[in-house]
Amino acid sequence: MTVWSDPVASSSWWGTRELQVSLVKANLATTVLDVRSNSFPGATDPLKLADQSGSPEPVALINGDFFDMFDTGDNSPRGPVVQDGKLLYAPYTRALVVGQTKTVLPPDEIQKVTGTVKLGRYSVPVRTINARTVPRNSGALYDRRWSVGATLPTGTTAITIRRGVVATVSSGAAVRAPRTAAGKVLLVPKSLAANIAHVAPGMVATVSVTPTDGTSDRPKTVYGMNSTFAKLEGSLVVGTVTVPIGALNYHNVTGTEADAFDANWARGAVPKGAATVVYSNGKITSVSRNGSSAAVPVGSTVIQLPGKIARRARAIHVGDTATLDLSLKTQSGATFTEALGHGSYVLQDGVIHASCTWAAETYRPRTLLGWDDTGRIFMLVSTSGRPDTWGGYRVGGATINEMTTWLKAMGATNAVNLDGGGSTILVAKRNGAFRRIDLPKKTPRRPVPNAVAFVAR
């Protein structure tokens, strides 16, 4: 893992700009992405999140999601928060989330093989099936069992095979994994370009591979990164009654779905709904058909029912058997072990999508989280090189486009924008203590509701 921070001087229309750029580079093979958070709602000094009791010591930590500082002032993050595979917080709205996924592949899904793929009169040697990387001197074959995100590793020539015929040939572009048993994708490295120079759609494709002694004989855990839209689509089921739950530990009970509150709620008394149901260990322990704002009992979950769905509490009674589901549904189907909300998707499959709005093109402190298809992950932070403020407003730094371009140049193929401005910070351990390294250590630090840490395995 590499942690680097250095001042850079660059020219702009108003003169020389002082810029401090900080980078952390790691790999999911040796590093865990760890989301740190406060109880909800609330915000915490980033140094305290780095040194959080009961959590493993991070190598580095950056600030996380955008949050509500002004409208309600309760510091609620914009998107959901997942830690150790458990959903801790979710607003009512659908939001973009980014985080780490964990897939346990059965033994026969990652194989070392020997064989060839014949494409017309051309031939490509093959040594792996569903591997995370493509060998330098042989092709790599992929089928529908590939589980590390939707797309395959990039930077090669991809030949899609459907029902024994070449369907497509593309170079350098992101290709999705096959979805049927009859589909295959062959990734060919540049060193074998001559073998496929004349391969074209419509050619007959024959796959002839057999496992070698190197075939995996035990399950393999594969870590990846994913960004997608997500929303809590939970429920409390009591007999024939179903109460839809659309938020967890959110500050406002509203809309047509219930809000659930558990031990991660920080304020004691919970926001009052039109009716209140308390759940614990498969049973209903309390029902208030006029609503209650009492604190969450130990080991329980309080369900606040708003508006018209409060009527459903009439058919729920103390002692009833119940099932509580607080599942985060993702658009991509990803299941996160660690996740938090983010702003825009600025780099996707190697294509820059950074906005060109005034806010994105001003020099401000920025925080980006990036990754590639091989498991590398990047933290990139920019500041002014000194604690500049203008009326309490952090100034100086970089534009979103600059940050995205730099990350892409370093090898990232995907990146998202996290909160910036006064929230931007990079924390690492120096001389036995955690301190900020993107600015002088005595620079004031803004409390944040969550953060992203890199922890060595």
Separation CA 234–CA 323 (nearest Å) = 10
Domain end residue (candidates: 161, 192, 218): 218
pLDDT tens column, 63-104: 999 998 766 668 899 999 999 999 999 999 999 999 999 877
Q: Alpha helices of 180-297 — where are they, by DSSP H?
A: none
pLDDT tens column, 192-208: 988 898 899 999 999 98
118 and 99 within one domain:
no
What pTM did the predictor assign? 0.78
Structure tokens at 100: 């780490």
> How many helices and strands (H and E) does the chain possess?
3, 34
Separation CA 454–CA 355 (nearest Å) = 27
Which range among 108-122, 154-168, 413-427, 442-456 shows the weakest confidence by mean pLDDT?
Answer: 108-122
User: Is residue 58 included in any domain, yes or no?
Assistant: yes
User: Is residue 272 included in any domain, yes or no?
Assistant: yes
Domain end residue (candidates: 291, 326, 361): 326
DSSP reduced 3-state for 313: helix
User: Is residue 17 included in any domain, yes or no?
Assistant: yes
Asked whether residue 215 carries a pLDDT value surpassing 60, the answer given is: no
Asked whether residue 176 carries a pLDDT value surpassing 50, the answer given is: yes
CB neighbour burial string for 294-305, b if at least 16 within 10 angstroms, e if fewer: eebeeebbbbbb
Count CA atoms closer than 13 A to 371's CA, side-chain side. Answer: 23
* pLDDT value at residue 457: 84
Query: DSSP readout, 228-246?
Result: EEEEE-EEEEETTEEEEEE
Count CB atoms within 10 A of the CB of residue 406.
Answer: 19
108 confidence band (pLDDT: 50, 70, 90): low
193 and 79 within one domain:
no
Task: Give yes or no for a contact between 235 and 325, defined as CB atoms under 8 angstroms apart.
Answer: yes
Pairwise pLDDT comparison (72 vs 457), residue with the higher score: 457
Which range among 37-51, 204-218, 438-452 shows the weakest confidence by mean pLDDT?
Answer: 204-218
User: Is residue 422 included in any domain, yes or no?
Assistant: yes
Q: Exposed (0-12), middle (13-18) or buried (19+): which is 272, by Cβ within 10 Å?
A: middle
Average pLDDT on 247-265 reads 94
Asked whether residue 418 carries a pLDDT value surpassing 90, the answer given is: yes
Asked whether residue 375 carries a pLDDT value surpassing 70, the answer given is: yes
113 and 205 within one domain:
yes
Residues of the chain above pLDDT 90, percent: 57
pLDDT tens column, 341-365: 999 999 998 999 888 887 778 888 9
User: Is residue 85 included in any domain, yes or no?
Assistant: yes
361 and 283 within one domain:
no
Asked whether residue 14 carries a pLDDT value surpassing 50, the answer given is: no
112 and 99 within one domain:
no
Whichever domain contains 145, its CATH number is 2.60.120
61 and 80 within one domain:
yes
12 confidence band (pLDDT: 50, 70, 90): very low
Query: DSSP readout, 307-338?
Result: GGGGGGGGG--TT-B-EEE-PEEETT---EEE
Mean pLDDT, the chain, rounded, equals 87
* pLDDT value at residue 174: 74
320 and 276 within one domain:
yes
Separation CA 203–CA 185 (nearest Å) = 14
Structure tokens at 70: 């002004």
Number of domains forming the structure of the chain: 3
356 and 316 within one domain:
no
Average pLDDT on 122-128 reads 90
User: Is residue 226 included in any domain, yes or no?
Assistant: no
User: Is residue 228 included in any domain, yes or no?
Assistant: no
* pLDDT value at residue 65: 97
Torsion of CA 332, 338, 341, 342, to 10 degrees: -90
pLDDT tens column, 274-294: 999 999 999 999 999 999 999
15 confidence band (pLDDT: 50, 70, 90): very low
Domain residues for 73? 2-103+332-456
309 and 359 within one domain:
no
Separation CA 176–CA 150 (nearest Å) = 6
* pLDDT value at residue 181: 76
Structure tokens at 398: 């970089």
Task: Give yes or no for a contact between 96 and 79, defined as CB atoms under 8 angstroms apart.
Answer: yes
